[in-house]
Structure 1
Amino acid sequence: MVNEVSEGHPMLAGANADAEPRVFESLRKRPRPRAERYEIGRSLRKEVPRRTLGDWKVDSDSRDPIALIERSHEGRVPGLVPVRVARMAASPYGFLRGSAVVMADDVAGLPSTGITPVVCGDAHLGNVGFYASPERDLVLDLNDFDEAHPGAWEWDLRRLVASTWVAGRETGASEDKCRDAVLTCARAYRDELRHLAQEPLFARSFERIDMRSIEKHGTESSLSKEPGAGGQAGA
């Protein structure tokens, strides 16, 4: 079903590249109309309902996280490997942050829509932070793209919300608050994608979240006390 729906769509796994070649390589080439792309998305829901994205079962017979972590150490500076392991052993959040390979192995076999953009590959909460833009404005953005690779968009979202829950536990938040934070994160992700889907392709490159927008839309009063609030450069 997915392959039938995705025929000719270059962002879908198994797509027929000859049907719509290199359509996103140039702003001079028109992609499929939005209405048609929305219909493709709705068709994918029939094959991969949203409720199935919450299912996860550990295959304890074949799962070997230690072996995966040891493999991920290959090519690293030997003297820094013990430092990395010590940081991972310090807390559940530290382990989650340093074990992207384990989570990738966990989610690789889970249901996904087959839409395969270039994903961050390590979109945990610790890789989101404040940075100074070239204009010296303080912006909120994602960093650390050394694991970036074509993959399911669901992988990044799963890592982001999982790290949000684990980080909440580490800071002493209740399970209810962790759940609320995860649901808020997922809703915000959905709403932003809906917004970007309506924007022209070129305009999406200029979307950004700065301190002014956070101060305006944030619900926490403590945000106004952050350095750089009100649009001042903070780095």
Structure 2
Amino acid sequence: MMKFIAFFGTRRIPDCRFTSTLITAEGKTVPKRKTFENRITLINNDNSVSITDLKNAQSMSIRRELKLVKVQDVDSKTRRPVYKLMTNTEYHAEELEKRKEKQEARQKNTLKAAKLLSLSTKIGEHDLMTGVKKMMKLLDKQHEVKVVIVGEGEGVTQKSERIYSVIEEKLKSIGKVVQKRVKGNSMRFQLLPIKHTTAEETKDMTSGHNEGNKGPL
């Protein structure tokens, strides 16, 4: 009896530890997939492209004193967000360009139907001022104004330029002249209403200058 106890007493009970594995319905073990969290496509300031994680990109931007800017939420092919490292100069230049495009698009969307006004170089001062007031009202209502100055008689060029100068001077605070061109005896140009900058736009324009290098934007 003592030998029996001694035999089992000296045997070591094996260490049983449970491990979790992923097994399919057929009983096959499936290896765990490596997960890559926060993987991004990074465009360096020399335009080279690399794949890294967001934390490493943030460290790189601080180390190189560059701005880390998100340029695309998700790339359609790689399914990764796209970031770019930029210098302060590049960043501010791109921000200004975006704001300019945004303002132009907003202005284009608010413009109403174009109105055509035709003037003769023989027009009198009173009639010219009446025409200017009409243009002013149309610009106030956000209409694009197309103006044609038809040359008649002698000194067409000088008379057309004088009428053009009067219109430009009187309307410079509410409209801007674009696409001025002379063809034969006629001068053509367009007047676009000037969109006054709103408080929100002013805030957007100044916010970029007050930002430091605070990681991804």
The TM-score, its normalising length taken from structure 1, stands at: 0.21
Q: Greater strand share, 1 or 2?
A: 2
Structure possessing the higher radius of gyration over alpha carbons:
2
The TM-score, its normalising length taken from structure 2, stands at: 0.22
